[in-house]
Amino acid sequence: MTQTKEDALARRISEYLHAREGVAALFGLAMEGAGRGWAKCSMIVKGEMTNGHGVCHGGVLFTLADNAFAWACNSRNVVALAQSASINFLSPARIGEKLTAHAREEANVGRTGVYTVTIAAEDGRMIAVFQGLSRTAGGNVVEE
């Protein structure tokens, strides 16, 4: 049952981070699941999240992806920080749409991790694809 224990720890870490994230409250980010090396984070697009063209701001999409990435790259209980990330925008997201970001680990080598995060809308449209590079800083996120 090692898998279960690791995933339970990962979930506890995501909940711990989630409770402390100012942005989580501001944007109404919800934790939709987490395990070792992965996490899902969702959000409903609101009027205050738009850009000048009236659709969801690219920075808000990045924030959603980056948050799922943070949960996933901290899921081994070693504090990890984002070093670098890239994002490709595929479809605009409209006010009222629920978006879900799914982060999964591509690689984990020494202090470095690489994660892919996809953002999809409820109708299945792919909104954006993100890739992040993390580096551990040392120390635990939560007590074990």
Least distance from a copy of itself to the Cβ atom of residue 17, Å: 3
Q: How many CA atoms lie within 13 A of 58 on its CB side?
A: 10
Q: Which of 3, 109, 123, 143 touches a copy of itself (CB under 8 A)? A: 109
CB nearer to a copy of itself: pick between 6 and 108: 108
Instruction: Say whether 49 sits in a helix, a strand or coil.
Output: helix
Which residues within the stretch 56-75 sit at the binding site for a copy of itself (CB under 8 A)? 57-60, 62-67, 70, 74
Least distance from a copy of itself to the Cβ atom of residue 73, Å: 11
38 binds a copy of itself (CB under 8 A): no
Rounded Cα distance between 39 and 69, Å, is 7
Element of type H or E holding 133: strand 126-136
